[in-house]
Amino acid sequence: MKKALTISILLIICWMGSLSAQIQHFPWQGVEREYLIRTPANHDGSLPVLFFLHGLGDNITNCDQEFHFGQIAEEFGWAIVVPQARNQGIGTMWNAGLMSSTIDDAGFLMALLDSLTVQYQLDPDSVFFTGFSMGGFMSHRMAIEHGDRITACAPVSGLITNVDAAQTPVAPVRMLHIHGTSDNVVGYNGYSSVFGMNLGLGVDAILDYWQNANGCTGEPAIDTLPNLKNDGLRFIRYTYNCGTDLQHLKVVGGTHNWYDVNHNDIGYKEVIYEFFTGHSLPSSVPDRKTGYLQVWPNPTNGILNIQNADPDASGIQVFDMNGNMVDVIVGVNNDSPLQTVQINLSRYPDGVYFVQTGDGTVAKVVVKR
């Protein structure tokens, strides 16, 4: 039986320096396969495990440095596994059904999971997969073929291939699909203008596929996230009424990129983490001009402390999920380089809110009692 993963959110995400990381080898089909694993320096009991699958032509070192999923390993007690795909003539590529191949990547990943479960005391009931681009394709295949062992899956900018679409999932699996509408590499409709070919099911067909697998009924709830940053994007979340969770994050205007909270209204890492665990990551968003914005505790039961380096401390505003301003914070003018103010959000309903400083820096806050 899969069990819910409960993680206490206590502190701000730490940097990766305190993590142990090493590239290791695992024999599979007569080939020494590589993988990188990050684990907390100290931990008691079993670890939830997140597999992050890289894109076409990528490698595990670059992937680990670029996507920064290892940042949550130490703080929240995760094991982060970044496996390496094999070179299949056009670069490193997962066998997700796009081309004829005898490489059993799905078997490799499951065998690697079994081995690491013993070696690192991984929790077999808290297994998560995500991946970008070709890694998103492979994440779908893993959910279809091994959903009975996967707690949740979050493919980003990857589709279900026509080969995989012909399969019946072995079990319902919690699924979050993220995709940009202006992606010309892996098109929202399934067509790639870069490669000049259809790569698989379009997003609408993918959602139909998982609705059938997860026992969904009726129309989805649609949530348009606040548009607070001038990034040319709109983030729309679709939540389906299912026996097993199904969500879609539609990025209107989104291209074949991984978006983050430093430059966009939301970050993929934070959205995926929230979907996987039911919790939000704490906010510590670098200010574009002054370099500092911190809020705590987060989540909060109403009382929120805000510290920032914005000289216009009286210009801090709070918005709800619909973009409506619900409060203005008046700061205290003093000689300190940092302004610390406090606000009581207890009179507002539980949910997600956004704190914005006078220069446009934004932090996400969860009110939960």
How would you classify residue 302: left for phi > 0, otherwise alpha for psi between -120 and 50, otherwise beta? left
- Give the model's pLDDT for residue 15: 25
Q: How confident is the model over 133-159, as pLDDT tens digits?
A: 999 999 999 999 999 999 999 999 999
Average pLDDT over every residue of 117-126: 92
Average pLDDT over every residue of 298-308: 81
User: Which two structure tokens, joined as six digits, stand for 2?
Assistant: 């899969």
- Give the model's pLDDT for residue 8: 23
CATH 3.40.50.1820 boundaries in the chain: 16-277
Instruction: Specify the pTM.
Output: 0.73
- Give the model's pLDDT for residue 105: 97
More confident call, 227 vs 231: 231
CATH 2.60.40.1930 boundaries in the chain: 293-367
From the number of C-beta atoms within 10 Å of its C-beta (0-12, 13-18, 19+), residue 188 rates as: buried
303, amino acid identity: I
Task: Provide the mean pLDDT of the chain.
Answer: 83
More confident call, 65 vs 332: 65
Average pLDDT over every residue of 292-301: 77
- Give the model's pLDDT for residue 126: 94
From the number of C-beta atoms within 10 Å of its C-beta (0-12, 13-18, 19+), residue 41 rates as: exposed
- Give the model's pLDDT for residue 288: 35
Q: Is the pLDDT of residue 80 over 80?
A: yes
Q: How confident is the model over 5-62, as pLDDT tens digits?
A: 322 222 222 222 333 456 899 999 899 999 999 887 777 678 899 999 999 999 998 8
- Give the model's pLDDT for residue 286: 36
Average pLDDT over every residue of 80-98: 93
Average pLDDT over every residue of 256-268: 90
Most confident segment among 60-74, 184-198, 339-353: 184-198
Candidates 203, 267, 238, 295; CA nearest to 68 is 267
Q: How confident is the model over 324-345, as pLDDT tens digits?
A: 778 887 655 545 556 677 888 8
With vertex at residue 30, the alpha carbon angle to CA 29 and CA 32, rounded to the nearest 5 degrees, is 100
State which fold the 16-277 domain adopts.
Rossmann fold (3.40.50)
Q: How confident is the model over 305-328, as pLDDT tens digits?
A: 887 765 555 568 888 766 677 888
Residues in Cβ contact with 8 at an 8 Å cutoff, skipping those fewer than 6 apart: none
Cβ 360 vs Cβ 229: under 8 Å = yes
State which fold the 293-367 domain adopts.
Immunoglobulin-like (2.60.40)
What residue has token string 């040319």? 232
Candidates 363, 356, 357; CA nearest to 312 is 357
Cβ 274 vs Cβ 323: under 8 Å = no
- Give the model's pLDDT for residue 71: 67
User: What DSSP assignment string belongs to 328-342?
Assistant: EE-----S-SSEEEE
Lowest-confidence pick of 226-230, 303-307, 358-362, 364-368:
358-362
Phi, psi of 197 (to 5 degrees): -160, 160
- Give the model's pLDDT for residue 259: 94
Query: b or e along 109-131 (b: 16 or more beta carbons within 10 Å of the residue's beta carbon)?
Result: bbbbbeebbeeeebbeebbbbbb
What confidence category does residue 180 fall into, taking pLDDT thresholds of 50, 70 and 90? very high
- Give the model's pLDDT for residue 22: 67
The dihedral through the CA atoms of 88, 198, 185, 281 has a sign that is: negative
